[in-house]
Chains A and B, each alone.
Chain A
Amino acid sequence: MDFFHVLVVLLESTIRVSVPLVFAALAGLFTERAGVFDIGLEGKMLGAAFAAGAVAAVTQSVWIGLIAAILISVLLSLVHGYASITQRGNQIVSGVAINFIVAGSTVILGEAWFRQGGRTPALAEGARFQIINFPGADAIREVPILGPIYADLLSGHFLLTYLAFAMVPVSWWILYRTRFGLRLRAVGENPGAVDTAGISVIWLRYRAVICCGILCGFAGAYLSLAMTAGFVKGMTAGKGYIALAALIFAKWRPKNVMLACLLFGFLDALAIRLQGTPLPLVGQVPVQLMQALPYILTVILLAGFIGKAIPPKAGGVPYVKER
């Protein structure tokens, strides 16, 4: 196996594991830019993954599964919205609560409905996403350099993979080039000003939270309908928190979000790849260190040692209308 081939394989798996991170981090981008902290990304993603797996298994339709995922995720988002926007509760506490409720419910309901130890039944072909092969991918694979790049890196992914990366410029366009996006960002910096302009802070924040729910729905559906054929309990395994880390790492900017997710995905792919193989100069790196690296990097970034991550000013603060 030559170096180039290894690199292509590595990048291919980087893309594969980055997709849920991209969706979830963009989801967080929408709420946090609107001033609502969201550490419930993990729970929403898990709930969506379960809904997708369960509904697709019953209906045998990948699309109904996807819709179910989005519905559940939006519903959970609205709970978070109700607690943190309408009731002005603590946003962190609400996010933690959602993560717990979902973690427990998916196991209990999965076990009660399917009796497979918290799994949903394995999905047949029509009930999950299929890999999309670009025209001529197989024919061109033998061409040096360009062949593998076209056939393995660009082609051969799921529809949701392309959607995830398409969502990056789309999110940028929504947030920076539409009136809605401008107001959404304003509400995260200075809700008072937005209110004075006669725009409803509450309704804006609710819409941001719904956007977040939709994107988390895609993230969850990708996990159970594309990456694997069915839901396994606890399958998000901290991806929601990694997405949160990526969001901070990206300093709440869409393009950086994608790059941060790819970086964390790459570290993940590298960790799996390097398991047990010594590196030149440093010797054998413990897998655990590689796994902890995204978190360590985020801590270092937050401490301002590699640039400063400034969150939206009104983040985490419920808006109280002046009387």
Chain B
Amino acid sequence: MSTPYAKLPGWVEYGLVPLINLAVAFIVAGLVVLLVGENPFEAAYHLINGAFGRGEYIGFTLYYATTFIFTGLSVAVAFHCGLFNIGGEGQAYVGGIGVALACLWLDQTMPWYVVFPIAIIGSAFFGALWAFLPGWLQAKRGSHIVITTIMFNFIASSLMVYLLTRVLKPLGSMAPQTRTFAEGGQLPKLDWLLSIFGLNIGTAPFNISFLLALAAAFAVWVLIWRTKLGYEMRTMGHSPSAARYAGIRESRITVIAMMISGGLAGMMALNPIMGEQFRMQLDFVQGAGFVGIAVALMGRSHPGGIIPAAILFGVLYQGGAEIAFEMPSISRDMIVIIQGLVILFAGALENMFRPAITRVFAMRGQRAAAVVQTKGA
């Protein structure tokens, strides 16, 4: 279809269409559950109960959501500039170095509120650094950002194995991880926030980096829709040739957008390292960089959509753990399937149901017009 799809009302565009895509993804996931020989409705019950059933569960759900807000924002910022940053995984992983270095350096002498800002800067710096090269290579040397960022994910993974087995590991220890941080390297929990609602967070690692994630979401909104840089990024994303004619310095914007994207991905490392494990372990990212793709697609690259989408994936992760516990034949890998289906239906097939929806609304529009006419006569 060479004509763009007819304009739909806002609530349809940003509410109904993503919801339909999401619903289809869940129906297909339900079919997989059937294939395994289990009851999809029972699985759905455990999912919801496991995510919201208790204060502790909600704490875990929001803990996961924190991570996904960061990676979702990361992917979204690059999306706005027309770049597909598939390297959030590697950027988050390398961002962990910044967090670990700050903590290893200061944790024994400083309180958390001194270490935290330095760790934020460190994580953003290292994440941005890891995104700088692919961005620069795209801008100056014309290499495809998708391929370079994939390659950088693998390079990051090798680099981190090297660092954690040879450099950052304390002497005499066998496990590939840093030493456990002292109190200064541990973020306070947000138990008070949930206790306002009468919920007890229990052992859930829901911590102060959640507030940082919300602040980052607001900052991204300001950046994209309220600043010159954001305007230039969106122009480039919409039409690179228009941006060129308007005198926007493409390569500069590309590199900056990638560094912001990488910095946001890097900040994800604060949550698991300082908020939960209190040390840097191998594989602490656990696919969150890729979840960010699904989150950004679901949330239409808008912070207002990314936060609920991140919470949805938090629900999947926490509720998925509960399903795995209650229904032994379904492991946590169910989440990976759902994630893939969401990416497929909300991302690659986002226009599949659009013609039908557009037709429904066009018909309604005509009928409304007809009613107005008969009334006027």
Contacts and interface: CB of A to CB of B under 8 A. Distances in A.
Nearest to B351: A87
Contacts of B348: 83-84, 87, 89-91, 93-94, 97
A215 interface: no
A44 to B, nearest CB: 13
A304 B37 CA distance: 52
Contacts of A79: 344
Contacts of A111: 329, 331
Nearest to B162: A288
A286 B352 CA distance: 48
Interface string A93-117: 1101111111111011101100000
Interface stretch (A130-138, A181-189, A241-249): A241-249
Contacts of A244: 147, 150
A302 B341 CA distance: 31
A289 interface: yes
Interface string B321-342: 0000000011101111111110
Nearest to A107: B333
Contacts of B148: 299, 302
B340 A101 contact: yes
Contacts, number: 154
Interface in A196-244: 238, 241, 244
Contact of B154 (A103, A105, A248, A295): A295
B161 interface: yes
A311 B144 contact: yes
Interface stretch (A6-14, A254-262, A315-323): A315-323
B143 interface: yes
Contacts of A97: 340-341, 343-344, 347-348
Nearest to A83: B348
Contact of B158 (A83, A109, A292): A292
A156 to B, nearest CB: 31
Given A87-B352, A92-B84, A112-B329, A99 B162 contact: no
- Size category of the binding interface on chain A: 35 or more
Contacts of B331: 107-108, 111
B137 interface: yes
Given A112-B36, A245-B151, A323 B2 contact: yes
A94 B347 contact: yes
B311 interface: no
B344 A98 contact: yes
Given A108-B333, A303-B143, A89 B351 contact: yes
B274 interface: no
A96 B86 contact: yes
A100 B336 contact: yes
A320 B3 CA distance: 10
Residue among A92, A97, A105, A292 with most chain B CB within 10 A: A97
A149 interface: no
A299 B130 CA distance: 13
29 contacts: A39-B146, A39-B150, A83-B344, A87-B352, A90-B347, A92-B84, A92-B86, A94-B347, A96-B290, A96-B343, A100-B290, A101-B337, A103-B333, A104-B335, A108-B32, A111-B329, A112-B329, A245-B147, A245-B151, A248-B147, A288-B159, A289-B158, A289-B162, A295-B154, A299-B133, A299-B151, A299-B152, A320-B1, A320-B2
Given A108-B36, A288-B158, 7 more contacts: A87-B352, A101-B340, A112-B37, A299-B148, A302-B137, A302-B141, A320-B1
Interface of A: 37, 39, 79, 82-84, 87-94, 96-105, 107-109, 111-112, 238, 241, 244-245, 248, 286, 288-289, 291-292, 295-296, 298-299, 302-304, 311, 320-323
